[in-house]
Amino acid sequence: MSRGAEALALSVWNSASDLSWEPRRSNAMAHRDSDVQEECLREDLKFYFMNPCEKFRARHQIPWKLGLQILKIVMVTTQLVRFGLSNQLVVAFKEENTVAFKYLFLKGYSGIDEDNYSCSVYTQEDAYESIFYAINQYHRLKNISLGTLSYGENEENRIGLKVCKQHYKTRAMFPSNETLNSDSNTEADCLHLDLQALSENPPGWKNSSFFRLEFYRLLQVEISFHLKGIDLQRILSRELPDCYVFQNTITFDNKAHSGKIKIYFDSNANIEECKGLNISGSGQKNTQYVLAFDAFVIVICLASLTLCTRSIFLALSLRKRFVHFFLEKYKRHVCNADKWEFVNGWYILVIISDLMTVVGSILKMEIQVKNLTNYDLCSILLGTSTLLVWVGVIRYLGYFQKYNVLILTMQASLPKVLRFCACAGMIYLGYTFCGWIVLGPYHNKFVGLNTVSECLFSLVNGDDMFATFAQIQQKSILVWLFSRLYLYSFISLFIYMILSLFIALITDSYDTIKKYQQNGFPVTDLQAFLKECGSRGQCQKQPSALQCCVCCLRRKESDDHLILPN
C-alpha cells in the first residue's frame, strides 16, 4: 500500500473515532449534570426538613421565624390580658345595670329569676300593680337610682314610656258551658307616656281606658323605654369612658292563659360615642401608648405572616422539583403521603393566627378611640389567635423525642377518632331527640335540644347523675319508667362501651408510636431518597419501584405509619 493510501486510511479512522467519542462524551456530561441536579435537590430537601438549630449550624441561617414566634407570644399575650381586663369591665357594667333595672322596675323581684323569666303574678290586682309600679319607677328614676342614668330617646325620637298591649280581636269564653267564641286574629294598641303626662297629679293616665285590661283575651303587655348611662369606672383605668344606651323592655306574657302571667325583663346595651368629653389627666396619653403597642403587634404579625407564606411557597416549589425528578428518573409518581410532607401545617396555623391577630388588633384600636364598640367580635379574634399561638409552641417541643409522642399520637389517632365519632354521633343524636320529645315536659334538663345535649354530655363524663334521675316528675308512671330505661341504657352504652372504645383507639395509636420510636418508622420514598449518598461508589442499592409502591400503599392503608419531618 502506498503512503498516500495509508494516510487516507489513517485520516478516515481518526474521523470515525472522533465521531464515536462525541456521543460518549455528551452522555457523560449529561450524566454528570443529572448527578449534580440530584445532589442539589437532595441537599435542598435535607435542609428543608432540618430544625432551626440545624439550619443555623449548616448554613448559618438566622431563625427569624422562631424569634418572631417567641416575641409574638409575649406581645399577643400581653395585648390579650389588657383587652381582657377592659372587656371584663364592660361586661360587668352591663350585667350590674341589668340587675339594678330588675330591682328598680319589677315589683317584688327577689333577685333570682324563675326559670327563663324574671318573676310572675297570679291575680289581676298584682298584674295592675306591677304595670303601674314600673311606670311610676320610671318617672322617679333620677330620685331613686344610684347609677349615672338619664332618660333616652326611643326609635321615634321621643322621651318617655311606650306601653303596648296585644289581644285577640273578639273572644267570648264560658267555662261553665265549655263554649268558646274566638277570633284567631290579634290586634295591638300602644300608648306613649311622656314625662309631662307622668308628672300629672293626680295621674290621669291611670284612668285611661287603655289600662282596662280584658284578661280573657289579653296576650301580652309590653313596656319599653330607653335610658342612658356612663361607665365612669374606666377613668380609674386611665381610659376614656363609654356611654351606653339601654333599650329596656318589660313583657307581661299571658299567652298561655293558665292563670300565671310571666314577667320578662330584657335589656340591650349599646355603646355610643360620648359627646363633649373633657377629661383631664393621663388618660389620653395612656391611650396613645396602647395604640402604639397595638400597632407594633400588627407589624410583628405581618412580618411573621410574610415569612410563613414565603416558606409555604418555597416548599411547594421544592415539592414540584422533587415530583418532576422522581417522574423523570424512576418513571413513576410520588405517593400522596410524601407530597403532604411538604405542606407544613404549623405554618398554616401561624398564618391563620396572624390574620386573626391583625384584624383583632385593628378592631381593638378602633374600640380604643371609640369608633367601634364590638367588644365580642374583637375578644373572639384575639382569644382564638392567642390560643393558636400557644398551640404552635408544640411544634418546637416536637423536636425532642420525649415531647414528640403527643404530636405523633394525635396525628395517628385523629383519622380513626373522627370516623369513630361520626358513628357514635348518630347514636348520640338519637338519644338527644328521644329525650327531648319524651322527657322534655317533665324534666328541666330536657326542655330543649341544646339543654338535652349538654345534659347527656355531662352524664357521659359522670357529672350530676343522681340529680338527673331524681328530678324527673312522677306525674306519669309510664314516662317515669321510660326515663329509667332511657337513662340506664344511655349511661351503660356510652360510658362502658363507647367511651372505652374511644380511649382504646388513642391508646393503640400511642403504643404504635412508642414501638416505631424504638424500632424505627416505615421508610417512605422521600426518606429513602434523602438517605442515598451523592457519589456512586458510596451509594447503596436503590429500592425497586415495586418496593416503593408497596411502601406507599402500606402508608395509605394504615393511619399509624407516620413520619414527622424536622
Q: What is the pLDDT of residues 206-228, one digit of tens each?
A: 888 888 888 888 899 999 999 98
For range 370-385, the mean pLDDT? 85
Q: Where are the alpha helices (DSSP H) in 151-239?
A: 195-198, 233-236
User: Which position has the higher pLDDT, 342 or 163?
Assistant: 163
Which residue in this structure is represented by grid cell 410563613?
Answer: 308
Q: 296: exposed, middle or buried (C-beta count within 10 Å: 0-12, 13-18, 19+)? A: middle
With vertex at residue 480, the alpha carbon angle to CA 477 and CA 486, rounded to the nearest 5 degrees, is: 140
Mapped onto helix, strand or coil, the DSSP state of residue 354 is: helix
pLDDT band at 535 (very low <50, low <70, confident <90, very high): very low
Q: Give the HSE-up count for residue 244: Cα atoms under 13 Å, Cβ half-sphere.
A: 22
Q: Where are the alpha helices (DSSP H) in 211-282?
A: 233-236
Question: Is residue 288 domain-shared with residue 332, that is, in the same domain?
Answer: yes
Domain for residue 287, yes or no? yes
pLDDT band at 428 (very low <50, low <70, confident <90, very high): very high
Does 362 score more than 50 pLDDT?
yes
Q: Which residues pair with 179 in a beta bridge?
A: 174
Decide: 412 and 512 in contact? Cβ < 8 Å: yes
Lowest mean per-residue pLDDT among 38-47, 73-82, 214-223: 38-47
Domain residues for 430?
406-523
Does 88 score more than 90 pLDDT?
no
Question: Is residue 383 domain-shared with residue 416, that is, in the same domain?
Answer: no
Domain for residue 347, yes or no? yes
Give the pLDDT score at 520.
Answer: 67
Question: Is residue 201 domain-shared with residue 289, that is, in the same domain?
Answer: no
**Residues sharing a CB contact under 8 Å with residue 200, sequence separation 6 or more, in sequence order:** none
Q: How far apart are CA 436 and CA 450, in angstroms?
A: 9
Give the pLDDT score at 433.
Answer: 94
Domain for residue 152, yes or no? yes
Decide: 158 and 194 in contact? Cβ < 8 Å: yes
Among 228, 260, 279, which residue terminates a domain? 279
User: Which position has the higher pLDDT, 141 or 561?
Assistant: 141
Domain for residue 100, yes or no? no
Question: Is residue 369 domain-shared with residue 454, that is, in the same domain?
Answer: no
Q: The C-alpha cell of 521 is what?
A: 418508622
Domain count, the chain: 3
Domain for residue 25, yes or no? no
Question: Is residue 215 domain-shared with residue 289, that is, in the same domain?
Answer: no
Domain for residue 101, yes or no? no
Among 368, 399, 430, which residue terminates a domain? 399
Give the pLDDT score at 547.
Answer: 36
Among 279, 308, 341, which residue terminates a domain? 279
Q: The C-alpha cell of 294 is what?
A: 397595638
Q: How far apart are CA 46 and CA 53, in angstroms?
A: 14
Question: Is residue 301 domain-shared with residue 442, that is, in the same domain?
Answer: no
Decide: 146 and 208 in contact? Cβ < 8 Å: no
Does 542 score more than 70 pLDDT?
no
Cα dihedral 400/404/406/411 (nearest 10): 160
Q: The C-alpha cell of 304 is what?
A: 411573621
For range 387-391, the mean pLDDT? 89
Nearest to 370 by CA among 290, 267, 266: 290
Question: Is residue 297 domain-shared with residue 270, that is, in the same domain?
Answer: no
Q: How far apart are CA 118 and CA 111, in angstroms?
A: 9
Q: Largest alpha-carbon pair distance within the chain?
A: 151
Distances (CA, A) of 406 to 102, 178, 349, 389, 395: 50, 71, 18, 18, 11
Question: Is residue 156 domain-shared with residue 218, that is, in the same domain?
Answer: yes
Give the pLDDT score at 175.
Answer: 59
Q: Which residues pair with 194 in a beta bridge?
A: 160
Percent of the chain with pLDDT over 90: 19
